[in-house]
Amino acid sequence: MLKTIGSTKGFKTIELALAPAVTSIVGGGEFMDELSTYFGKDNDNYKRNVKIKHKEDNTMSRTIRNAKGFTLVELAIVLVIIGIILGAVLKGQELINNAQAKRAYNQVREVTAAVYTYMDRYGGRLPGDDPTATAALRGAGWATGTGGTLGNGLFEGNTTTTMFTCATAATTEACIAWDHLKRSNIISGTLDSSNPSNSYGGTIGIANAAVSGLTTNWIGLSNIPSNVAQQLDIQYDDGIATTGSIRALAAYTAGSQARISIFFRL
């Protein structure tokens, strides 16, 4: 009986090539008949192989048809959507930054208004510099400031650095001014000398000190980004750190996020 000698593929070629030799060796068509029976198109092995091959071809064809990518129009739409989202995020961040800078400036105006309100209420005297802010005249908890001459119209006792770090029990004129404003119910907060916070995580200070060559009463903001300080100076003064009514201790660095202190003339 003939054993399997290969796949059915290319049977015609095999048959044509081998028929003369096989016939001469075997001595007739008996071998060829058996070979034809095994590889013939009516044979079950042949049919089964054809069906498997046809199924594989169909599966591959469907895979190729289904594995299509994005069209250029679809990619364009996706890119447009991404661009809109990025634009909205950047615009939103810009609005937040502008609001934060505006809030910082408004805090300076609020302190200025608080100081003038105190002066209007207590005969033109500055909080902290007020000689009448005694427990005997105002009640328990009140005390006059130290470190300067009371009643001379100056927030004395602190520098451009220490004005931002007043301890709760500090008694210098520039620090106790906060206590006076709170006890007068002009500003809110715990009844002590600690500084209020500003919108950039620093503090607000008051002092009579020298800032870029000018000694006067200043309201200061600490921990302000240099580019924001420059923006405030440009918007509300002359844009120069060493001149005008808004100053810093050194020139601004454009685009820099380095934290500095900025001072507003009171």
Residues 40 and 163 in one domain: no
C-alpha distances in Å from residue 196, one per residue of 75, 100, 193: 52, 16, 9
State yes or no: pLDDT of 4 exceeds 80.
no
The overall average pLDDT reported for the chain is: 84
What is the mean pLDDT of the segment spanning 117-123? 97
Q: What is the DSSP string of 204-259?
A: EEEEEEEETTEEEEEEEEEEEEHHHHHHHHHHHS-S-TTSSSEEESS---TT---E
What is the mean pLDDT of the segment spanning 107-119? 98
Contact 250, 241 (CB under 8 A): yes
- Residue 260's H or E segment, with its range, is strand 259-265
**80: in domain:** no
Binned at pLDDT 50, 70 and 90, residue 8 comes out as very low
Rounded distance between C-alpha atoms, residue 179 and residue 192, angstroms: 5
Residues 175 and 230 in one domain: yes
Binned at pLDDT 50, 70 and 90, residue 2 comes out as very low
Higher pLDDT, 60 or 173: 173
Our measurement of the distance from residue 126's CA atom to the centroid of its chain's CA atoms, rounded to an integer in Å, reads 41
Residues 144 and 254 in one domain: yes
The structural domain count of the chain equals 2
Residues forming a β-bridge with 259: 225
Residues 128 and 45 in one domain: no
**48: in domain:** yes
Contact 226, 256 (CB under 8 A): yes
Residues 122 and 243 in one domain: yes
Contacts of 249 (CB under 8 A, 6+ apart): 160, 211, 212, 241, 260, 261
pLDDT at 5: 42
Residues 43 and 150 in one domain: no
Residue whose C-alpha is closest to residue 174's, from 184, 196, 159: 159
One-letter amino acid at 163 equals M
Rounded distance between C-alpha atoms, residue 104 and residue 111, angstroms: 11
**60: in domain:** no
**5: in domain:** no
State yes or no: pLDDT of 209 exceeds 60.
yes
**219: in domain:** yes
| Percent of the chain with pLDDT strictly greater than 90 | 64
State yes or no: pLDDT of 260 exceeds 80.
yes
**67: in domain:** no
Rounded distance between C-alpha atoms, residue 205 and residue 170, angstroms: 13
Residues 43 and 154 in one domain: no
Residues forming a β-bridge with 219: 206, 264
Extract the tokens encoding 63: 């895979």
Domain hosting 167: range is 101-265
Contacts of 19 (CB under 8 A, 6+ apart): 32
Residues 105 and 165 in one domain: yes
Residues 16 and 115 in one domain: no
Contact 115, 154 (CB under 8 A): no
Rounded distance between C-alpha atoms, residue 95 and residue 116, angstroms: 31
**121: in domain:** yes
Binned at pLDDT 50, 70 and 90, residue 60 comes out as low
State yes or no: pLDDT of 117 exceeds 90.
yes
**39: in domain:** yes
What is the mean pLDDT of the segment spanning 160-176? 98
Residues 146 and 25 in one domain: no
Residues 47 and 158 in one domain: no
pLDDT at 266: 96
Contacts of 238 (CB under 8 A, 6+ apart): 244, 246
Q: What is the DSSP string of 84-130?
A: HHHHHHHHHHHHHHHHHHHHHHHHHHHHHHHHHHHHHHTTTPPTTS-
Binned at pLDDT 50, 70 and 90, residue 30 comes out as low
Residues 111 and 233 in one domain: yes
